[in-house]
């Protein structure tokens, strides 16, 4: 395990990939490795990209990766799509464009196994992200399908969350329907090359704006003003992009970088991290306490509770009393 860790920390992509497989399988080795890697984490900027299937997330992630590379940042991409497991090299939407990336040592691409993740998909994603952070990727892009609670959980791993909307997918604004609009730090209207995009932008702005002014960058210049100020004081921008051509992507990355600076300067980054660690410690503690206390006696306890000779409350008291003994 030490060699694997050393190789991963030295940036060897094979070792990183093998370590991630361990993490996905939630092996004891993985837990030990994560414990050792913890001190090395905390440097990466973690960005979540979520939105309806077909909104263009993978195409955008591809372009974002290229733009961050232009800015001399190393990039790791984690694609989480429980509904459609990837096969072979088809990790991103477009295989051909993908070839621009695969030869670049500053980019690491991983699609998460969709099969039963023992620790839960959100926890596994958090752990995979920690590995990538520890081994030194500057930027981590997490692509998830925006379809409800598990996306919200995964998005909570990210420091900056992009909600992707695209025109031509029905009358409704998809992210509102899915209940994920609120988690967006930046709202992205992809497929801005389509004429209907204007309506989507307007619809989002109408949804969001409460009379506050918003920043929309176009070739680095402010062109529109509409946005919402979220509870913590960040103005959520609405950014049009055309991922097919890369148009608007540089402006989007500028917004992302501004959000990173804002997070740091306001102390929100520290708060976010604390909340993440609290959740992680709680999950680990619950699992261990459950495992060590309940384990072999579960059936007997359940039988008594089912027979109404023991209440669930009394069962907990009995089980907990063993901790002291
Ligand atoms: N017209 C147009 N099509 C796009 C754009 N971005 C992505 N697409 C297309 O939308 C489809 C879905 O893209 P994909 O990235 O796989 O979406 P995902 O399911 O959200 O990951 C593909 O056919 C893309 O070529 C864009 O900016 N403009
Ligand atoms: Mg995709």
Here the contacts of 201-206 (C-beta below 8 Å, separation 24 or greater) are 201/238, 201/240, 203/173, 204/165, 204/173, 204/238, 205/238
Residues 141 and 284 both lie in one domain? no
pLDDT at 26 exceeding the cut of 70 = yes
The residue contributing the CA closest to ligand 1 atom 24 is 56
Mean pLDDT, all residues of the chain:
82
Question: Residues 41, 129: one domain?
Answer: yes
pLDDT at 267: 93
Residue 13 lies in a domain: no
- 11 falls within a domain: no
- Which residue has tokens 């990183």? 16
Ligand nearest to the CA of 85: 2
Cα–Cα dist 41/219, whole Å? 34
Residue 179 makes CB contacts below 8 A (sequence gap 6+) with 148, 152
Cβ atoms of 140 and 173 within 8 Å: the answer is: no
Look at the pTM and tell me if it is higher than 0.75: yes
Q: Which residue has the higher pLDDT, 91 or 72?
A: 72
What is the spatial distance between Cα 299 and Cα 46, in angstroms, rounded to a whole number? 42
Residues 193, 309 within the same domain: no
Mean pLDDT for the stretch of residues 111-116: 65
Question: Cα(181)–Cα(174) distance, rounded to whole angstroms?
Answer: 9
- What is the atom index within ligand 1 of the atom nearest the CA of 194? 1
Question: Is 90 exceeded by the pLDDT of residue 281?
Answer: yes
For 87-99, how does the pLDDT look when each residue is reduced to its tens digit (9 = 90+)? Answer: 433 444 444 345 5
Query: Is 16 inside a domain boundary?
Result: no
At residue 297, the pLDDT reads 78
Residue 197 Cβ contacting ligand 1 at under 6 Å: no
Give the integer Cα–Cα distance in Å for 108 and 102. 8
Q: Which residues pair with 236 in a beta bridge?
A: 228
**In this structure, is residue 3 part of a structural domain?**
no
**Is any ligand 1 atom within 6 A of the Cβ of residue 54?**
yes
Rounded average pLDDT over 164-176 = 76
Q: Do 74 and 186 fall within a single domain?
A: yes
Give me the pLDDT at residue 161, please: 94
Name which residue sits closest to atom 7 of ligand 1, judged by CA. 56
Does residue 43 share a domain with residue 174?
A: yes
Residues spanned by the domain of 295: 280-324
Q: Do residues 66 and 214 share a domain?
A: yes
User: Do residues 156 and 130 touch, judged by C-beta distance below 8 A?
Assistant: no
322: Cα within 13 Å, side-chain hemisphere = 13
Cβ atoms within 10 Å, residue 309: 9
Q: In the predicted model, what is the mean pLDDT of residues 247-265?
A: 97
What residue owns the CA closest to ligand 1's atom 17? 56
H/E/C letters for each residue in 17-59? Answer: HHHHHHHHCCCHHHHHHHHHHHHHCCCCEEEEEEECCCCCHHH
Residues 171 and 315 in one domain: no
- Name the domain count of the chain: 2
Asked if residue 34 lies in contact with residue 144, where contact means CB atoms within 8 angstroms, the answer is no
113 and 228 both lie in a single domain: yes
């Amino acid at each position: 395990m030490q060699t694997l860790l050393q190789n991963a920390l030295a940036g060897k992509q094979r070792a990183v990939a093998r370590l991630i497989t361990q993490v996905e399988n939630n092996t004891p080795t993985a837990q030990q490795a994560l414990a050792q890697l913890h001190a090395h984490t905390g440097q990466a900027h973690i960005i979540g990209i979520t939105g309806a299937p077909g909104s263009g997330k993978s195409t955008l992630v591809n372009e974002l990766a290229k733009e961050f590379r232009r800015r001399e940042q190393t990039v790791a991409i984690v694609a989480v799509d429980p509904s459609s497991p990837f096969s072979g090299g088809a990790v991103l939407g477009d295989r051909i464009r993908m070839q621009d990336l695969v030869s670049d040592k500053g980019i690491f691409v991983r699609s998460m196994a969709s099969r039963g993740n023992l620790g839960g998909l959100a926890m596994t994603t958090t752990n995979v992200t920690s590995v990538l952070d520890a081994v030194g990727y500057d930027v981590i892009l997490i692509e998830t399908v925006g379809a409800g609670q598990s996306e919200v959980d995964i998005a909570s791993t990210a420091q900056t969350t992009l909600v992707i909307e695209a025109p031509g997918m029905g009358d409704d604004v998809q992210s509102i329907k899915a209940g994920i609009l609120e988690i967006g730090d930046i709202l992205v209207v992809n497929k801005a090359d389509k004429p209907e995009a204007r309506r989507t932008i307007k619809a989002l702005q109408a949804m969001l704006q409460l009379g506050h002014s918003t920043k929309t960058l176009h070739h680095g210049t402010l062109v529109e003003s509409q946005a919402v100020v979220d509870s913590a004081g960040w103005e959520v921008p609405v950014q049009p992009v055309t991922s097919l051509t890369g148009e608007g992507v540089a402006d989007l990355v500028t917004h992302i970088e501004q959000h990173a600076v804002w997070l740091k300067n306001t102390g929100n980054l520290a708060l976010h991290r604390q909340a993440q660690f609290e959740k992680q410690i709680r999950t680990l503690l619950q699992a261990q306490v459950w495992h060590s206390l309940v384990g072999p006696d579960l059936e007997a306890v359940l039988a008594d509770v089912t027979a109404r000779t023991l209440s669930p409350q009394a069962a907990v008291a009995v089980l907990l009393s063993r901790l002291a003994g």
